Amino acid sequence: MPLDLGRFRRDAIGPYSGQKFTIRKIYLRDCLLEIGVLPSVLLEPVNKQLEAFKEKLSNPEDAEAHGKIVKFYLSRGIVEPKVWFGEEKDRPEDAIAYEDLGGDQDYLVNQITEYSFDLRGLREFADFFRQSVAEPPGPDGAAVRAEAVEPDKQP
């Protein structure tokens, strides 16, 4: 069976420039490694991991982490045209300079995120960690009766 790259890519049109970009899915683990979160995630308890990751991403003053994330998304998530992060004078003919993206930058990061991840699953994952009380056990959420677990005692 021939390889169909269309199954792994899709087009996104920049809302400000009108430029067509071909995007691909990215792997979240690679992004976490890039910004330096993953090694600490493996060593710390879950609640500390989530808090550190949330703080790192939500801190507007952490321009370095934000810049790394954006660069990762644009360099790995855009197939065509490539985004050039170097000096303008060295830019290849078939690449667009990062500085020229303007408002399309945030749009492209969002498009790559939506394409890469099932956001419903991420929202459910976040909701799971926000719950303070566990749901009653059972396939439909109903409490399991004791008689369903313990057999009747014979006199």
Q: What is the pLDDT of residues 143-154, one digit of tens each?
A: 555 555 555 555
Confidence of residue 6 (pLDDT cuts 50, 70, 90): confident
24 close to 5: Cβ distance less than 8 angstroms:
no
- For 76-134, write each residue's pLDDT tens digit: 999 999 999 999 999 999 999 999 998 899 899 989 988 887 666 555 655 555 554 44
pLDDT score of 140 more than 50: yes
In this prediction, residue 108 carries a pLDDT of 93
Angle between helices 63-77 and 46-58 (to 10 degrees): 90
Closest C-alpha to 32, from 59, 69, 67, 60:
69
Closest C-alpha to 34, from 2, 5, 70:
70
pLDDT score of 139 more than 50: yes
- For 12-61, write each residue's pLDDT tens digit: 999 999 999 999 998 877 777 776 665 554 555 555 655 665 666 566 66
In this prediction, residue 133 carries a pLDDT of 45
Closest C-alpha to 73, from 53, 46, 101:
101
Higher per-residue confidence, 51 vs 10: 10
Cα 13 to Cα 18, 43, 78, 105, 132, distances in angstroms: 6, 40, 12, 11, 42
In this prediction, residue 134 carries a pLDDT of 47
In this prediction, residue 74 carries a pLDDT of 93
In this prediction, residue 44 carries a pLDDT of 53
Mean pLDDT on 3-10? 86
**What whole-number distance in Å separates Cα of residue 20 and Cα of residue 96?**
12
